[in-house]
Amino acid sequence: MTEESFSTTSHLLVAMTTTETDEIQSTGAPDVPLSSSLGVDFYFQCAVVIIGAVGTATNGLVLYAMIASNQHKKQLLIFNQNLFDFCSSVLLVVTYTVKLRNIHLTGVLGYWLCMILLSENLLWCSMNGSIINLLSVTVERYLKVVHDIWSKKVLRRKWVKISAVLFAWISGIVYNTALLFPTSDVVDGICYAYVFWESRVAQLAHGIWNFASFFVVVLFIFVFCYGRILIVIRRQARVMTGHSGPGSSAAQTQSQKIQSNVIKTMISVSAFYVITWMPCILYYLILNINSNLTLINNTSVLTKFTISSQYYQFRGLRNYYCYFSHVKKLLID
């Protein structure tokens, strides 16, 4: 980024937050009445901390239950998904607890505090990784049902699932960190994340790519994989019904139940993903399209849209696990 564009952007951002900057002393304590300092943002941040604490406890129990029942080895990707949710909840508590301190950032320590916590870098690394891992779970279930023979040869190898787990963690961290450092900085003691772009073209291109990758492509994979699973199950159900004879209704009842579970899972995972992630991703796309908007004082809005997504993703995975145990009984080896 050129010195001229950096100066212009900095002056614009500082002008937008003049009141906030003037209120902060060198100690970081706001010199304003208590009634005005404890605004909506303060109470929202407190609510986020509470939600994060609850999420930490519940996801911690799920992880403990899977380890105690030795399911973390059998269902490695699902265990990893819950691990992502647990880390997201912990980082939610830590990040917003630090934000409640309203720290005036100075020096090297202030810079790294901005880059690591106040920018929500670690939090979004975990959230982006959870999306990637959720896709891995979807593809795994798709292969086990639609390409059963091939999946038995490939997915049985432990290194395949371990590679998928590592890819989700590494890609989530690398992507968000590589995006953060060139576009973020500390100006007048305030952390500005994802603001300073080399050019409007780069900002717009990234906004479109982010929307397409984390929403359009993800939703397409959900619908495609679940749709193919449903088609295969219906075909196998017809075969099983033909073998069982016209007088038996048990196979028909079982197949109808499995198909119903697949449809419910497809609708719930896809719908919940759209409901919980679309406002966040669409909002971020608008920010990159409209140069007059920034993420300043709006990062809480992004996090607000994504808090509930962790719960709904786990709920979808639970449905995955429940119906797939019945699918295995129906499919012909």
280 in a domain, yes or no?
Answer: yes
**Lowest mean pLDDT, pick from 19-28, 102-111, 204-213, 260-269:** 19-28
What confidence category does residue 241 fall into, taking pLDDT thresholds of 50, 70 and 90? low
What confidence category does residue 252 fall into, taking pLDDT thresholds of 50, 70 and 90? low
Q: Mean pLDDT throughout 24-48?
A: 53
Instruction: Kindly report the CATH number assigned to the domain that includes residue 254.
Output: 1.20.1070.10
19 in a domain, yes or no?
Answer: no
Q: Answer for the pair 193, 114: CB distance below 8 angstroms, yes or no.
A: yes
Domain that holds residue 282: 39-330
pLDDT for res 309: 44
Q: Mean pLDDT throughout 61-85?
A: 88
CA–CA dist 96, 108 (Å, integer):
21
58 in a domain, yes or no?
Answer: yes
Cα dihedral 27, 33, 35, 36 sign: negative
pLDDT for res 323: 41
pLDDT for res 152: 79
Q: Which residue has the tokens 């971020």?
A: 284
Q: Measured in Å, how far apart are the chain's first and last C-alpha atoms?
A: 59
Sequence-distant (≥ 6) Cβ neighbours of residue 326 within 8 angstroms: 254, 257, 258, 261
Structure tokens belonging to residue 202: 């780069």
5 in a domain, yes or no?
Answer: no
Count the domains in the chain. Answer: 1
Structure tokens belonging to residue 123: 């939090």
Does residue 178 carry a pLDDT above 90?
Answer: yes
DSSP SS3 for 37: helix
CA–CA dist 314, 66 (Å, integer):
14
**Lowest mean pLDDT, pick from 142-146, 235-239, 296-300:** 296-300
34 in a domain, yes or no?
Answer: no
pLDDT for res 99: 87
Helix and strand element counts for the chain (H, E): 14, 2
Task: Give the global pTM.
Answer: 0.75
pLDDT for res 245: 56
4 in a domain, yes or no?
Answer: no
HEC string of 4-25 equals: HHHHHHHHHHHHHCHHHHHHEC
pLDDT for res 248: 56
Structure tokens belonging to residue 97: 């607890």
156 in a domain, yes or no?
Answer: yes
230 in a domain, yes or no?
Answer: yes
In eight-state DSSP terms, residue 191 is E
Detail the DSSP E strand segments found in the chain: 185-187, 190-192
